Amino acid sequence: MIYDVIIIGAGVSGAAIARELSRYEANVCVLEKCEDVCEGTSKANSGIVHAGYDAPAGSLMAKLNVRGNEMMDDFCRDLDIPFKRNGSMVVCIHKEELSGLQDLYDRGIQNGVKGLKILTREEALKMEPNLSDNVEGVLYAPTAGIICPFKLCIAMAENANVNGVEFRFNTKVEDIKKGEDDLWHIRTNNGECVSRYVVNAAGVYSGQIHNMVCKDDDKIEITPRRGDYCLLDKEAGNHVSHTIFPQPTSLGKGVLVTPTVHGNLLVGPTAEDIDDYEGVNTTADGINDLIAKANDHVKNLPMRKVITSFAGLRAHEPRHEFIIGEVKGAKNFIDCAAIESPGLTSSPAIGEMVAGILKDMMGLKAKSNWIGKRKDILNPSDLSIEDRNDLIKKNPAYGNIICRCESISEGEIIDSIHRPLGARSLDGVKRRTRAGMGRCQAGFCSPKTMEILHRELGLKYEEITKCGGRSNIVIQRTKNQKGGEC
Amino acid sequence: MLNYDIVIVGGGPAGLAAAVAARDAGIDKILILERDKELGGILNQCIHNGFGLHTFKEELTGPEYAYRFIEKVLEAKIEYRLNTMVMDISADRVVTAMSREDGMYQIQAGAVILAMGCRERPRGALNIPGFRPAGIFSAGTAQRLVNIEGYMPGREVVILGSGDIGLIMARRMTLEGAKVKVVAELMPYSGGLKRNIVQCLDDFGIPLKLSHTVVDIEGKDHLTAVTIAAVDEKSKPIPGTEERYTCDTLLLSCGLIPENELSRNAGVEMSPITSGPIVNESLETNIPGVFACGNVLHVHDLVDYVSEEAARAGENAAKYVKGQLSDAKSDIEITATDGARYTVPSTINIDRMDDKLTLRFRVGAVYKDSFVSVYFDDERVMHNKKRIMAPGEMEQVILLKNKLTEKPGLKKITVKIESE
Amino acid sequence: MEKRELTCIGCPMGCQITVELEGQDVKSITGNTCKIGENYARNEVTHPERTVTSTAVVLGGDKPRVSVKTKANIPKDKIADVMKEIDAAVVNAPIRIGDIVVKNVCGTGVDVVATRNIEAD
């Protein structure tokens, strides 16, 4: 099979491009080295829809940020995922740095950000009483928002799949060559794939993928920039209502404090450039650092309510600019590289832009039967008791609560497994349903979720993983498998 | 809407004992709501022995202890519903529950007894640095996998935390063929029973490292190694003391947290020390007719005390339903200071008090040859020498009603630990 | 003369007890602070015993394993052998508390019994 387009990477960029491309008549395949979508940078970030005042005026980053932000309401409505414009605040705590807020404001205006306002200390504290006592002024951006990064990525991929895009998981790209047939031959651990066009949306690996096809003088180097985060219990979710940033530095936007769209409080990220492209380990120094920094601009942070900490990698490139477009000397090979923050915000716009490039290059025609809408997994908590009872009568699995912290039923988990690009692991279920994301962190529900995966997918217990690969939960039966299969 | 005199949330040891006591006190319409597929709660997976010495004067395993109470519930024909999750409890005692069979429904309860138990502190709350691979379990989750589901999580094990569940799992994993390499404990003492240290660790040559913690976790897919290090008095790791252990399993036994989401939503006032409801002498919360007992109230050391406490909650709920609990405010405050961390209960209404009232509490550190003192206002009325007190064990003092009535106008009872 | 170091399990004190032995003869017990410690130490060095609890394989039950225990203490040095016999046992559901799972385990005269009920599936 010769594909029209192969997209490398099923993170938020790859998924957005796949979904946009699925509007057109084309054979599209996404190659993903992990067992699920949303496994890299896309799963470990701040979940912020940025307003767009950070990126340099005139940059592609600025343009796609502002465009992505504008698109987000319709986008989330169509894909049925939660999004809330809670507004962001950049907090100045040193009088001599107030001019920095003005600079950001000016840049925001140039970038086309709407509604920006510089607030006095008093105005800011009125809106956000837990700001630091040292606050001198605030840049307020009402268009900033919060989103579930998993749901965004999964929904785009799922919708792309419904519209005919194929996804190959556990498929790692090892080499890419232009064949004599003028097609791209992609060698993977799962055999060779051939396509007319290739999109490189490989996140922190986008440098390596780019360098497989580029000219010697056009190499790019992506540095994994690690960020540690702490996620706090929903009890702390109201500590602030806006997303609170410090003033930015050369290392980025700094340690933010934000409610999440699901009602937790998120603190992070730190910024540390590392060598390990899989180095998503938190460090004691990192966590201490972020707690110290967060306390600079938000007071009384209830850090005792941490339910988990994690780290994510940003695909940092020295120019700090998205690299999108055909690679020089590699015809029909499109980069979507160095997508660091605001990549999540920009993703709908990135999808639109890359699909637009391909549409023009390939002369793609729109499908007549494209389905642009998608329903998320039903959330029974939104239903009245009567409606919920009707649902349980029709499908009793909705009456069986599996994750008690987040109140997730068996019905939701079964749906997450059987829908397009369904979950195959505990993390897959978790990101789709939130089962296991609560304060007990899956202590209670993981044996029950395993039982459901076992039953619904016919997996043996020993084959059930946390997140694919060798991440199996149990190794064998007790009694050295002398027992029957019961 | 259904109507019951008493609805009991949770069918573990606390819920069962409360139900039996309420029935013995003459209450007819009692309903136990249990989220698991059987009664007995966590005892079903605690297959080791050592339960029930106080209650039954013999050593039972967890399932056997549970069954003694289940039998009583069955004999008394007390209603219970399994696989049922309580979704909400309102301040006017409307309990919303849900199950596959019955859907979502509401029950107006004359009285509610909270008996939801506790859960384990997860890795996330411990802020252990490192990767987040498969192979890290709270000890209780591993216990369920091994004892109930019949699966082994791994072959080479490190355990953080020397609470009893951690110690018990060290032996259990060893007996099932795994190699337990070390148990690390952050504190300079173990929170577990001496018996468990000897019979679960020493018997099998498993080292216990006090004042140690896990400082790194390796493994991208699956756990491959952990590093432990000694800690200073402030529990900070000491550089240079790191030791790396290859392993595929890390079990965490780092404390239990009462599970009070439902209580909080109902508006029950909580103690920041116990993370359980603040209760009066009748084990009643600030919401009239809502009682609490067992590990949801405060984490116990022995199940026997859970059963005893729960029976009192059951009796008092029965009195409430029959209108026999006066609604006068509690007027005596009980304060725990100087090493005593809290007391349960923490207020007394003398009119509602039984002839004897057991105050349970825990100490904050290890105390040798010290005194448990009780003060009525400023007067010391009790001064009991104890050879040893440790945070892992519950302590108790018994207050006599006639002693309290001798002190009209008594406002404050203080429990403290004194060196002489 | 053999010296054995023990931790008393009688109470949370956890006294470190030293026992001096010649063969099976206890020559001295020191370090204990009460009679419980002395008795514990004497038993522990002359004939230590334990109750073994584990699970056994169930066939045809609503659960795959049944919890079991030795009905009385068995000699401590037989724990591993007892586990082997428990591991090899297979019990058919239904099972009632007290049902014998392994009779006279390892010739100790002690039975291994079920500690919970298992219904037939």
Kindly report, residue by residue over A382-441, the tens digit of the pLDDT. 899 999 999 999 999 999 999 999 999 999 999 999 999 999 999 999 999 999 999 888
Both A228 and A365 in a single domain?
Answer: no
Q: How far apart are CA A353 and CA B159, in angstroms?
A: 51
List all chains that touch chain C, counting a touch as 3 or more CB pairs closer than 8 Å.
A, B
Phi, psi of B122, rounded to the nearest 5 degrees: -80, 170
Residue to mutate among B37, B38, B53, B61, with most C CBs inside 10 A, is: B61
First to last CA, chain A: 43
Query: Which residues in chain C have their CB less than 8 angstroms from residue B394's CB?
Result: none
Contact B61 C115 (CB under 8 A): yes
Residue C121 lies in a domain: no
For the domain that residue A443 is a member of, what is the CATH number?
A: 1.10.10.1100
Same domain as C65, residue C35: no
Rg, chain C, Cα only: 19
Which has the higher per-residue pLDDT, C10 or B245? B245
Helix or strand (DSSP H, E) at A21? helix A12-21
Q: In terms of CA atoms, which chain A residue is nearest residue C59?
A: A484
Is A462 in contact with B164 (CB distance < 8 Å)? no
Pair of tokens at residue B318:
């029965």
Are both A158 and A76 inside the same structural domain? Answer: yes
Please state, in angstroms and as integers, the Cα–Cα distance from residue B280 to each residue in B91, B312, B329, following that order. Answer: 17, 12, 10
B237–chain C nearest CA distance, Å:
27
The pLDDT of residue B69 is: 98
Secondary structure class of A235 (helix, strand, coil)? helix
CA distance C31 to C38: 9
Higher pLDDT, C16 or C98: C98
Query: Which site among B87, B100, B128, B136 would you substitute to test the A interface, given the most A Cβ atoms closer than 10 Å to its Cβ?
Result: B100
Domain for residue A483, yes or no?
Answer: no
**Helices (H), ranges, A93-214:** 98-111, 121-127, 149-162, 206-213
A483 touches chain C (CB under 8 A): yes
C61/C43 same-domain check: no
Cα gap C121→C118, rounded to integer Å: 9
Residue A29, sorted as left (phi over 0), alpha (psi -120 to 50) or beta, turns out to be: beta
C59 within some domain: yes
CA–CA gap between residue C55 and residue B143 (Å, rounded): 12
Residue A70 inside a domain? The answer is yes
Q: Is residue C26 part of a domain?
A: yes
Of all residues in chain C, the one with the smallest CA distance to B148 is C65
pLDDT confidence tier of residue A485, bands split at 50, 70 and 90: very low
Residues C65 and C108 in one domain: yes
Let me know if residue A482 belongs to a domain: no
Nearest to C9 among B148, B172, B195 (CB): B195
Give the domain-ending residue among A265, A295, A311. A311
Please indicate whether, in this complex, the C-beta atoms of A468 and B221 are within 8 angstroms of each other.
yes
Please give the Cα distance from A311 to A277 (Å, whole number): 12
Residue A446 domain-assigned?
Answer: yes
Q: Give domain status of residue A103, yes or no.
A: yes
Nearest neighbour of A486 by CB, restricted to C56, C59, C87: C59
Q: pLDDT tens for residues C42-69? A: 999 999 999 999 999 999 999 999 999 9
Q: Name the average pLDDT for chain A.
A: 96
Indicate whether C120 belongs to any domain.
no
**What's the confidence (pLDDT) of residue C24?**
82
Place of tokens 């997303």: A243
Q: How far off is chain B from C1, nearest CA to CA, in Å?
A: 23
First to last CA, chain C: 58
C-contacting residues in B 70-129 (Cβ below 8 Å): none
Residue C34 lies in a domain: yes
* Residue B125: predicted pLDDT: 78
One domain, residues A305 and A440? no
Predicted confidence band of residue C97 (pLDDT cuts 50, 70, 90): very high
Q: Which of C83, C87, C118 to mutate to test the interface with A (most CBs of A within 10 A)?
A: C87
Assess A393–B contact: CB distance below 8 Å, yes or no: yes
My answer on whether A434 and A386 are in the same domain is: yes
| pLDDT tops 90 at residue B126 | no
Among B195, B189, B223, residue whose Cα is nearest residue B364: B189
The answer to whether the bond into A269 is cis (omega within 30° of 0) is: yes
Which chain C positions have a beta carbon within 8 Å of B49's beta carbon? 51, 53, 69
Which residue in the set B61, B199, B203 is minimally distant from C67, CB to CB?
A: B61
Question: Per the domain annotation, does C8 fall within a domain?
Answer: yes
pTM: 0.95
Beta-carbon separation of C57 and A482 below 8 A: yes
Nearest CA in chain A to B250: A473
Q: Are residues A218 and A70 in the same domain?
A: yes
Long-range interactions of B96-100: CB distance < 8 A, separation 24+: B96/A385, B97/B33, B98/A388, B98/A392, B98/A399, B98/A401, B99/A399, B99/A400, B100/A392, B100/A396, B100/A397, B100/A399, B100/A400
Phi, psi for residue A60 in degrees, rounded to 5: -65, -40
Angle of helix B13-24 relative to helix B303-321, nearest 10 degrees, comes to 40
Check if C14 contacts B (Cβ < 8 Å). Answer: yes
Residue B347, strand partner residues: B280, B333
Residue span of the structural domain in which C25 resides: 2-47
3-state secondary structure at position A355: helix
Residue C108 — very low, low, confident or very high, per pLDDT cuts 50/70/90? very high
CA distance B58 to C51: 13
pLDDT digits (tens, 9 = 90+) for A303-348: 989 999 999 999 999 999 999 999 999 999 999 999 999 999 999 9
Q: How many CB pairs below 8 A link A and B? A: 145
Q: Inter-axis angle of helices B13-24 and B62-75, to 10 degrees? A: 30
Please give the pLDDT value at position B122. 83
Query: How many C-beta neighbours within 10 Å does residue B220 have?
Result: 18
Helix (H, G, I), strand (E, B) or coil at B99: strand
Q: Domain containing C81 — which CATH number?
A: 3.10.530.10
What is the share, in percent, of chain C residues with pLDDT greater than 70? Answer: 100
The number of C-alpha atoms within 13 Å of B2 and in the hemisphere containing its C-beta is: 15
* B144: chain A residues, CB-CB within 8 Å: 447
Q: Is residue C119 part of a domain?
A: no
The confidence score (pLDDT) of residue B82 equals 98
Per-residue CA distances from A288 to A255, A294, B125, B214, B396 (Å):
12, 10, 14, 16, 39
pLDDT over 60 at A484, yes or no: no
- Contact present, B41 and B11 (Cβ < 8 Å): yes
Same domain, C58 and C102: yes
**From the CA of A485, how many Å to the nearest CA of chain C?**
8
In this model, does residue A486 exceed pLDDT 80? Answer: no
Q: Do B85 and A401 touch (CB under 8 A)?
A: yes
The structure tokens listed for B238 are 């000491």
Q: Is residue A481 part of a domain?
A: no
CA distances from C97 to A158, A186, A370, B67, B350 (A): 51, 62, 62, 9, 44
Instruction: Name residues 453-482 of chain A within 8 A of C (Cβ).
Output: 478-480, 482
Cβ contact (<8 Å) for A483 and C65?
yes
Interface test mutation site (partner A, options B45, B143, B222, max chain A beta carbons within 10 A) = B222
Average pLDDT value for residue range B29-44:
97
| More confident position, B407 or B12 | B12
Both A74 and A153 in one domain: the answer is yes
Confidence (pLDDT) at C13? 78
Residue A123 has pLDDT above 60, yes or no: yes
Percent above pLDDT 70 for chain A: 99
* Residue with tokens 């007290």, as numbered in its chain: C98
CA dihedral (B346, B350, B355, B360) in degrees, to 10, reads 0
Distance of alpha carbon B240 from alpha carbon A117, whole angstroms: 51
Which residue of A309, A474, A475 is in closest CB contact with B127? A309
Q: Residues of A with catalytic annotation?
A: 50
Contacts of C81 in chain B (CB under 8 A): none
Does residue A486 belong to any structural domain of this protein? no
Q: Are A133 and A270 within one domain?
A: yes
Write out pLDDT tens, residues A26-47.
Answer: 999 999 999 999 999 999 999 9
Together in a domain, C42 and C73: no
Task: Locate the chain C residue with the closest alpha carbon to A485.
Answer: C64
**A400, A412, A464: best to mutate for the B interface, most B CBs within 10 A:** A400
Do A258 and A207 fall within a single domain? no
Please report whether residue C89 resides in a domain. yes
List CB contacts (< 8 A) between C55 and chain B. 47, 146-147, 150
Chain C positions in Cβ-Cβ contact with residue B392 (cut-off 8 Å) = 12
**Same-domain pairing of C110 and C64:** yes
| Maximal C-alpha separation, chain A | 74
Q: Above pLDDT 90, what percent of chain C? A: 78
What is the CATH classification number for the domain harbouring A150? 3.50.50.60
Chain C segment 102-121 residues within 8 A of B by beta carbon are: 115-117
* Same domain membership, residue C10 and residue C24: yes
Domain-ending residue, one of A295, A311, A327:
A311
Q: Are C23 and C73 members of one domain?
A: no
**Of the candidates C19, C21, C23, C22, the residue with the CA atom closest to the CA atom of residue C32:** C19
Shared-domain flag, residues A156 and A215: yes
Residues 39-98 on C with a CB inside 8 Å of B are: 50-55, 57, 63-65, 67-69, 76, 79, 83, 97
Same domain, C79 and C43: no
Sign of the C-alpha dihedral, residues C36, C38, C42, C48? positive
d(CA B48, CA C52): 8
The residues pairing with B398 across neighbouring beta strands, listed in sequence order, are B358
CB proximity C33 to B under 8 Å: yes
Q: How many residues does chain B have?
A: 420
Whether B47 sits inside 8 A of C8 (CB atoms) is no
Q: Note the pLDDT of residue C14.
A: 83
Chain B residues with CB under 8 Å of C83 CB are 175
Q: How many domains does chain A have?
A: 3
* Residues sharing a CB contact under 8 Å with residue B293, sequence separation 6 or more, in sequence order: B14, B17, B18, B113, B114, B115, B283, B306, B309, B310, B312, B313, B314
- Structural domain boundaries, residue A292: 88-142+223-275+285-311
Residue B304: per-residue pLDDT: 95
B 370-389 → C contacts, CB under 8 A: 387-389
For the purposes of burial, counting CB atoms within 10 Å of the CB of A418, is it exposed (0-12), middle (13-18) or buried (19 or more)? exposed
Q: Are A377 and B91 a contacting pair, CB within 8 Å?
A: no
pLDDT at A483 exceeding the cut of 50: no
Residues C35 and C57 in one domain: no
Report CB contact under 8 Å: B151, A480.
Answer: no
Distances (CA, A) of B380 to A111, B371, B374, B383, B411: 73, 12, 6, 7, 14
Residue A472 lies in a domain: no
Pick the residue from chain B with its C-alpha nearest to C51. B49
Using the 3D structure, point to which of A357, A376, A395 is the last residue of a domain. Answer: A376
**Is the CB of residue B202 less than 8 Å away from at least one CB of chain C?**
yes
Q: Is B420 helix (H, G, I), strand (E, B) or coil?
A: coil
The reply to whether C64 and C101 lie within a common domain is yes
Neighbours of chain B (3+ CB pairs under 8 A): A, C
- Using CA coordinates, name the residue in chain C closest to B395: C12
Reference B214, options B198, B234, B230; nearest CA is B230
Cα angle at B404 between B401 and B410, to 5 degrees?
150
> Do both C42 and C63 map to the same domain?
no
Contact state of C59 with A479 under an 8 Å Cβ cutoff: no
Query: How many secondary structure helices (H) and strands (E) does chain A include?
Result: 12, 23
CB contact under 8 A, C116 and B64: yes
**Same domain, yes or no: A122 and A185:** no
How many domains are contained in chain C? 2
Beta bridge partners of A476: B152
CATH number at residue A111: 3.30.9.10
